[in-house]
Structure 1
Amino acid sequence: MKVFISMALLLATFTVAAQSKSDRKELDKLEALMEGYYSSEAQSKVDSANYFNISLRMVPIWKDRGHFLYVEQALASKPDKPYRVRIYKLSKRDGKFVSEIHTLKNEKDWIGKWKTPAAFDTLPFSEIELKPGCEVILEKKSETEYSGKTGIGTCPSELRGASYATSIVTITPGKILSWDQGFDKEGKQVWGAEKGGYVFIKK
């Protein structure tokens, strides 16, 4: 286990060192756009039949290992019981930005730790797991806008009878549009918003 952790840390250090200065600056900017506390309250008030009031928190962690964000998503009425707990890893690949999605093996131990990001310094890479095929590939549309999506059929999902999930994301200053959907093997949508993505406004 110690060898595995050491190798993981070594790989992360090498990855950070291999990034060009311009890439690091661009990733710093993207991370700064994404981090913060967001809410879909305004959208839910306009269309409560199709959208819930959801809180979204994204906090930078592991500053010395690259660009990572701890993420919690929860119904506003149940902030202490998030239905999604993730770690996003941001990188740049072939001129595009990549947001890799990781789950935490013992996620209940980390719920609410966005209040104290330094707590994640004790979390080893061996305690998170990559969700292959679920990464969001983002393109820089302007100095203040990034948008992208997952591949079609690349991100496995078993939620509510789904076969795969997709995500479409647009990031701009103070706002994130996120449309997550699940589809069965015939391509029929079985979960997620139907009219369009959730609009999260930064608080």
Structure 2
Amino acid sequence: MRQLLLIIFLSTLFSSCNSNSVKDVELHNLVVLLIGEFSNKEQAENDSSFAHLNLINIRIWKDKPGYWVYSEVSDAKGDHHVYNQTILNYERLDSSTIKSTSYKIISINDHSTDLNIAEFTGRPSTKLFDRLTLDSLEIKTGCQVYFKKKTSTIYSGKTGKGSCNNNIDYIDYIMSTYVVSKDKISIWTKGYNNSGKQVWGKIKGPYKYKRTGN
């Protein structure tokens, strides 16, 4: 009887610890699926119209509310040119929706040493991000991505229509759609003019990234 009570107590204790450490299981699971190193090498080899790109997502700032991620897209060939560096914040919006807010790194200063943004490329140490503050970031207004859970391991997300402005003259707004599943991320970003005509981005379909590392 004592042994049975001990087992029940320990089970309850561990269950309580797990629930305290992960308050939102769906949100946590989405971020876990996103974190890691990815490449669309297979896609690029099968279709030369798609560039060979690398995607890196690193979780940072674990002491801040929500989930913060550094995301980088770069050319997998040549000089590994970086196309995009973004800080993302994932948080619960409502009972069925998770929101991702994008931030651009605009300044890097830790009061004593100026850091070059190039130091953040590749796979930087998470300690490097401790020298960034929220004042170093600029929100990409209207570019939030809204994710919903489709199955136990699949999340889909998209930006709002016409809300995410772009700094390229002939593009009035961009729209992105995401499908995140186990070891795979697909991203389809398209640019439109005010008439709703697509003027930039892939016509065939999304970039399809497969996990290459954790």
Q: Is the 8 A contact 1:70 1:114 kept in 2?
A: no
Show the 5 A alignment for 1:40-79. 40-49=40-49, 51-65=50-64, 66-78=66-78
Q: Is the 8 A contact 1:155 1:164 kept in 2?
A: yes
Aligned length: 183
Give the SS at the match of 1:69. strand
1:19-57 deviation line (CA, Å, top 9, x unaligned): x976433322211100111101101111112x1111100
- Determine the structure 2 residue equivalent to 1:32: 32
Higher mean displacement: 131-140 or 183-192: 183-192
1:100-149 deviation line (CA, Å, top 9, x unaligned): 11110047244326331121011000001111110110001111110020
TM-score (norm 2): 0.80
Partners of 1:172 and 1:183 lie apart in 2 by 27
**Which of the numbers 192, 196, 203 marks the counterpart of 2:205?**
196
Give the SS at the match of 1:115. coil
- Determine the structure 1 residue equivalent to 2:111: none
Higher mean displacement: 169-178 or 21-30: 21-30
TM-score (norm 1): 0.84
Whether 2:92 is the aligned partner of 1:89: answer no
Tell me by how many angstroms 1:160 deviates.
Answer: 5.5
- Percent identity of the aligned residues? 31
Which residues of structure 2 form unaligned runs of 5+? 1-19, 108-115
Give the SS at the match of 2:148. strand
Output the aligned Cα RMSD.
1.8
Q: Is the 8 A contact 1:72 1:85 kept in 2?
A: yes
Answer 1 or 2: which has greater helix percent. 1
Partners of 1:47 and 1:82 lie apart in 2 by 21
Structure 1 consecutive aligned stretches of length 4 or more whose deviation exceeds 6 Å: none
Q: Is the 8 A contact 2:82 2:121 kept in 1?
A: no
Q: Is the 8 A contact 1:159 1:182 kept in 2?
A: no
Equivalent residue letter for 2:28? D
User: Which structure has the larger Rg?
Assistant: 2
Equivalent residue letter for 1:89? N
The 1:41/1:160 distance shift into structure 2, 3 A limit, reads farther
Partners of 1:55 and 1:166 lie apart in 2 by 21
- Determine the structure 2 residue equivalent to 1:178: 187
**Which of the numbers 138, 161, 173 marks the counterpart of 1:164?**
173
